[in-house]
């Protein structure tokens, strides 16, 4: 019995050590980014495509105020309420003292400069599909943005979700380096996939989640409950979204549906972002959505 107990203790310690190793924070080495230089003009388009202002500007901000990334918006979920932090260029309350590798590490690995896991309410699972050149351009533009000295508010979470190391387990189960939609795509559809799946992270709202909060990739863009607890975020699959490519592109420009309804809630902010892009990009997103396969009878989507 004593030997059995000893073996179990050793196995438990080994499992614990393996868990710490597998869930450890990982940083992007500076050497991987060597030689990249950013273009702030190109970075502005990445900024709008990625929807940064939708979460990090003040909730009712308009115009130039949407470039003040002081944080404070609240995002309810089944796990608690997440509060967007200040990510302005303020060196004390924002990210003004970050390096480019730290910026990329946050966006693609979900790890802070202090080596802590960010919660996936921050859509780093999508941004990890972004190209490093786009992130270099984004960082160049970010450094032109105004600072805010507003302190970041803490998230409102209960135990055990306050243990950030558990996010490392979540990452093991949910992070992917592959696009959802594969197969033969035209150049326009491939551009739309990149915009929708990586930068604009459409799946974060329009795809249902499993019990742990991971995206159900088998039901990609099939609609999901609104995390506020009221209503449902609509599906974007072709069996549900019957608009033409031109109608989708027009909606992404001004927020008006073919029946002259208008976008509301968080989608109104998304429209303000996408409306800043080149018309070809909005048509590319439309082409991607029209290329999605229709769900099978069991509700799954045959990717």
pLDDT at position 21 over 70: no
Select, from the ranges 29-38, 59-68, 101-110, 204-213, the one with the highest average predicted confidence (pLDDT).
101-110
Cα–Cα distance for residue pair 135/99, rounded to 1 Å: 12
Average pLDDT over residues 275-279: 96
More confidently predicted of 225 and 43: 43
Burial, 290: exposed, middle or buried (Cβ in 10 Å; 0-12, 13-18, 19+)? middle
Cα–Cα distance for residue pair 141/157, rounded to 1 Å: 33
The residue length of the chain stands at 303
pLDDT band at 78 (very low <50, low <70, confident <90, very high): confident
The secondary structure of 206-219 as a DSSP string is HS-B-TTS-B-GGG
For 31-155, CATH number out of 1.10.150, 3.30.110, 1.10.760, 1.10.3470 equals: 1.10.760
Average pLDDT over residues 107-114: 97
pLDDT band at 231 (very low <50, low <70, confident <90, very high): confident
Return the pLDDT at 6: 45
Cis link prior to 61 (omega < 30° from 0)? no
Average pLDDT over residues 82-99: 97
The secondary structure of 150-187 as a DSSP string is PPPPPPEE-TTTT-TTHHHHHHHHH--SS-SS-S---H
Look at the block and give the residue holding tokens 């927020």: 255
User: pLDDT digit string (tens) for 178-226?
Assistant: 999 999 999 999 999 999 999 999 999 999 999 888 999 999 999 998 8
Which run of H or of E encompasses 233? Answer: strand 232-233
Written as six digits, the tokens of 52 are 């940064």
Written as six digits, the tokens of 276 are 């800043």
pLDDT band at 16 (very low <50, low <70, confident <90, very high): very low
- Sequence spans of domains, the chain: 31-155, 178-303
Cα–Cα distance for residue pair 251/258, rounded to 1 Å: 8
Task: Enter the pTM of the model.
Answer: 0.89
pLDDT band at 5 (very low <50, low <70, confident <90, very high): very low
Is residue 33 within 8 A of residue 104, CB to CB? The reply is yes
Return the pLDDT at 27: 82
pLDDT at position 244 over 50: yes
Q: How, if at all, do strands 74-77 and 80-83 pair?
A: antiparallel
pLDDT band at 227 (very low <50, low <70, confident <90, very high): confident
More confidently predicted of 263 and 194: 194
Average pLDDT over residues 259-285: 92
User: pLDDT digit string (tens) for 46-59?
Assistant: 999 999 999 999 98
Is residue 213 within 8 A of residue 120, CB to CB? The reply is yes
Cα–Cα distance for residue pair 232/221, rounded to 1 Å: 12
Return the pLDDT at 37: 93
Helices (H) and strands (E) counted in the chain, each on its own, are 12, 5
Average pLDDT over residues 149-169: 89
Non-local (6+) Cβ contacts of 158 within 8 A are: 80
pLDDT band at 294 (very low <50, low <70, confident <90, very high): confident
Q: Helix, strand or coil for residue 262?
A: strand
Eight-class DSSP state of 2 = H
């Amino acid at each position: 019995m004593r030997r059995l107990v000893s073996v179990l203790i050793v196995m438990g310690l080994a499992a614990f050590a393996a868990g710490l190793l597998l869930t450890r924070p990982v940083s992007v080495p500076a050497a991987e980014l060597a030689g990249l230089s950013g273009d702030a003009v190109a970075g502005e388009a990445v900024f709008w495509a990625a929807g940064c202002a939708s979460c990090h500007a003040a909730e009712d901000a308009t115009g130039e105020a949407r470039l003040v990334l002081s944080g404070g918006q609240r995002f309810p979920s089944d796990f608690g309420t997440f509060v967007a932090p200040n990510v302005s260029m303020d060196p004390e309350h924002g990210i003004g003292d970050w390096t480019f590798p730290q910026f990329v590490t946050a966006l693609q690995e979900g790890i802070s400069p202090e080596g802590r896991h960010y919660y996936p309410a921050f859509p780093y699972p999508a941004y990890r599909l972004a190209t490093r050149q786009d992130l270099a351009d984004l960082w160049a533009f970010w450094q032109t943005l105004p600072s805010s000295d507003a302190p970041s508010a803490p998230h409102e979470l209960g135990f055990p979700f306050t243990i950030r190391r558990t996010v490392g387990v979540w990452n093991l189960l949910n992070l992917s380096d592959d696009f959802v939609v594969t197969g033969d795509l035209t150049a326009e559809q491939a551009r739309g996939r990149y915009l929708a799946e990586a930068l604009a992270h459409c799946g974060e709202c329009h795809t249902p989640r499993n019990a742990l909060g991971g995206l159900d990739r088998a039901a990609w863009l099939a609609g999901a409950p609104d995390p506020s607890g009221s209503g449902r975020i609509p599906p974007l699959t072709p069996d549900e979204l019957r608009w033409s490519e031109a109608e989708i592109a027009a909606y992404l420009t001004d927020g008006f549906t073919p029946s002259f309804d208008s976008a509301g809630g968080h989608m109104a902010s998304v429209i303000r972002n996408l409306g800043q892009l080149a018309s070809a990009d909005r048509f590319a997103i439309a082409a991607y959505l029209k290329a999605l396969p229709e769900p099978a009878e069991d509700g799954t989507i045959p990717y």
